[in-house]
Every structure is written in structure tokens, then in C-alpha cells.
Chains A and B, each alone.
Chain A
Amino acid sequence: MAQANRSIEIGTGLFVLLGFAALGFLTTQLPGSGLQLTRASQSYAVVADFDDIGGLKVGAPVTMAGVRVGQVNAISYDSSVYKARVSLSIDRQYDHIPDDSDAAIQTSGLLGANYIALSPGGSDTFLHGGSQLQFTQSAIVLESLINKLFANFSGSKDSSGSKDNPGGKDASGNTDKPSGKTSK
């Protein structure tokens, strides 16, 4: 009887331990804001200043030639130079990155998430913990690009159209048609 009780207690203890381990994993390891135990020692930190980071988020990948070499660790605003300061943590195994490499914020796919692409420079000295990337390229914000495009389009159309079309249409008495459309 005592033996049976003991095995029940051991089984329950095992189950509760497993359950709390699972809860602990869900609450600390999965959320980006939680404490991560694993990756601190295996990477080194590099900073880069950008004029505009677009939609870049903490945790976004850092790639070289398309291969993931690290991730964005922190993003802050440096008010002394009016730029966004991005801290990258790069895996320790990639320690041969020239220190004049170029960092560009790019988008994966048309609507995908932002990431940082490093393209190597030609320097003989390599990036190490605490060094800063000098050459950066801001994110291309698709919306502003489209806005510019439309502004250009409509601007050129209006300027060319205002000379030709209204005069011709007014003269031929076509003004009824547009008004009829709007009333419908």
C-alpha cells in the first residue's frame, strides 16, 4: 500500500514538474521580451546608425549573401545625430566580416518583413564586439515610393492635360457626360 502510494506520488511529481517546465518554457523562452538564456555568449554585438529603419523590428535577421548570420538585438533613437541606432548581435562563428562592410535594410518579398543585409567591404580588419558599421543604407519605404510615383504621374498628366483636354472638351460641348456620371 505504501509502495503504491509512493509510486503515485512520484508519478504526480513528475507530471507537475513537466507541466511547470512547459509553462516556464512558454513564458520565458518564446516571447521576445522574456529572458533568453541561450544565445548571449555565442554572439558579439555591432552597432549601425540608419537614417530610416522603416519597419525593422527587434529579432529581425541579419544576413550576408542571403545566409543568416545574426539578428537585430535592440533599436533606439540617437538624438545627437538624429539617427536610429540599431544593435546587431552576430553569431560568433562569423568573425571574418570586414569592418568596412555595408549594412542595408531590405525587405523579403514585396510585403515581407524587413531584414539587414551585410555586404562585405575590402578591409583587412574585421568586425568585433562593439565596433560600428560606417556605411549604412536606409530602408526603402514602399508607401513613400508609391506616393512619389503617383505624385510624378499625376503632376505630369495634369500639367500636360490642362493645356490640351479641357479646352478641346469644352469647345465640343462634352461637359454633360461627366456631370451625368457623377449624378449616377
Chain B
Amino acid sequence: MSGVSQRRSMALDALAKLGSVALFLLRVLGQCIPVLARPRLVIAQIYNAGARSLVIIMLCGLFVGMVLGLQGYQLLERFGSESALGVVAALGLIKELGPVLTALLFAGRAGTSLCSEIGLMGATDQLAAMEMMAVDPVRHVVAPRFLGGFIAMPLLAAIFNCVGIYGAQLVGVTMMGIQPGTFWSQVQGAVGLRDVNEGFIKSLVFGAACSLLAVYEGYHAEPTAAGVGLATTRTVVTSAVLVLLLDYVLTAAFL
């Protein structure tokens, strides 16, 4: 009997969480337009979330591309069509791996820092102090961070794709000896603007989801050291699950 009521309360909790995230999203979105009047705040956050993630994104992109090159070459060689390696690498990166892996890295690199920063501001009463001075912390702290992440994520994904394709080309052309002309003309023949759009829209959605979860968890973190740590962990876990889930939905929608 208690099991049933416990399950019911858990379901209600989940529902309440979903609702509170949605309401928080509306609140942040409402503050996004006024924040654009002070672009300096947003620029600082694009720098934080984007420019400082650049090195890790490029490094990971390069290695993912190179692995795709090696694995794809081995597999395609069996069918005598190793010249299609460029297609495999480019389409795989643009449509799936680029947006998803960038989002996962973004959640780990930028999401955690957003969450712990806001959480620590809450724990040290900075957010409460802002409220006391009639300054809306959502407008001055949360909205710029959300916008910064939202803008940075698609750009990061695009950079990841380019570096990844370069990595695949490095392995395929330089190491395995595929003709560079063949590699690129196969890519140009197979990749359509539609595929690029699909990846771009995915990265937009993932960017919004990861940024929102990070600022939400940070803003609602318990104002203790343990609470901030817990919120940071939750950010990464929920972001990763949500990104993979949304990826399935978006892929199905684009078919």
C-alpha cells in the first residue's frame, strides 16, 4: 500500500519538476529580449561557454573524425568501396555525431560551470542580494548565460564537424591513400543542404536544452556545498539523457 503511494508521489514529483523547468524556461525567455539591450553580458557568456570550450571541442572532433576514418575504411574496404569513406564520415558527423557529441561535451564543459557558478552565487546569497536591490537575478545572471550557451552551441557543433571531416580526410587520404579528389567529390555528391540543416537544427535544440538544464539546476540548487555539487552532477546526467532522447525524436522527425 505504501509502495503505491510512494510511486504516486514520485510520479507527482517528476511531473512537478517538468512543470517547474517549463515555467523557468518561460521566465528566462521573457528576459532574453531585454538582455539583448546589454550585449556585453551575453558576449562575456559566449566567451565562457564557447571560446573556452573551443580547444576541447576541436581536439575531440579531430579524434572522432580520425576514428571514423579508420573504422569506416576497414568496413568499406570489404565491399570495395573505400572511396565512399568521405560520405560515411561527413554524413555521420554532420547529422549525428557532431551535434550529439558536441552537446555532451558542452554539458560537461560549459553546463557544469554555468550550474556551479549560479549555484554558488545562490549559496553565497548573491542572488538574494540582487533581489534585495530590486535587480532581477534571472535577467542579469540567468538569461545572459542561457543565451550565451544557446548561441555558442551551434557554432561549436559546426566547428566540430569541420575538424572531424578534416580528421577523416587525414586518415583516409594521407594514411590510407584514397584520392583526395575522389574523397571530396563523393562528399559533395552525397551531402545535401538538407543534411546540414538537420544537424544545425539539432545543435540549436541541444544547445537550448543543455543551457536551460544547467541554469535551472544552478538556480534551484540547495544553497550548500553539497547541494551545488549535487546540482552539477544532475546537470550532466539529465543533459546527457535529454540530448540522446531528443536526438531520437529529431532524427525520426527529419526522416
Min CB distance A21 to B, Å, is 8
A23 engages B200 (CB within 8 Å): yes
Complex Cα–Cα for A32 and B185 (A) = 8
Min CB distance B130 to A, Å, is 21
B196 engages A60 (CB within 8 Å): no
**Cβ–Cβ < 8 Å partners of B181 in chain A:** 61, 68, 71
Number of interface residues of A (CB under 8 A): 33
Would you call A172 an interface residue if the criterion is a C-beta within 8 Å of the partner chain's C-beta atoms? no
User: Contacts A12-B51, A26-B196 known; A36 to B162 CB distance under 8 Å?
Assistant: no
User: Contacts A26-B161, A109-B79 known; A31 to B188 CB distance under 8 Å?
Assistant: yes
The contact of B179 among A16, A57, A60, A68, by CB within 8 Å, is A68
The contact of B188 among A5, A14, A59, by CB within 8 Å, is A59
Would you call A58 an interface residue if the criterion is a C-beta within 8 Å of the partner chain's C-beta atoms? yes
**Cβ–Cβ < 8 Å partners of A36 in chain B:** 188
Would you call A77 an interface residue if the criterion is a C-beta within 8 Å of the partner chain's C-beta atoms? no
- The majority secondary structure among interface residues of chain B is helix
Q: Which residue of B lies closest to A22 (CB)?
A: B158
Q: Which residue of B lies closest to A38 (CB)?
A: B184
Min CB distance B190 to A, Å, is 8
B155 engages A22 (CB within 8 Å): yes
User: Contacts A22-B161, A26-B158 known; A15 to B188 CB distance under 8 Å?
Assistant: no
- A interface vs B, CB < 8 Å? 5, 8-9, 11-12, 14-16, 18-20, 22-23, 25-27, 29-34, 36, 57-61, 68, 71, 108-109, 112
Question: What 6 pairs between A and B have smallest CB-CB spacing?
Answer: A19-B155, A59-B189, A15-B51, A22-B158, A32-B188, A12-B47
Given contacts A15-B155, A18-B155, 11 further A-B contacts (CB under 8 A): A19-B156, A19-B159, A23-B158, A26-B161, A27-B193, A30-B196, A31-B193, A34-B193, A58-B189, A71-B181, A109-B79
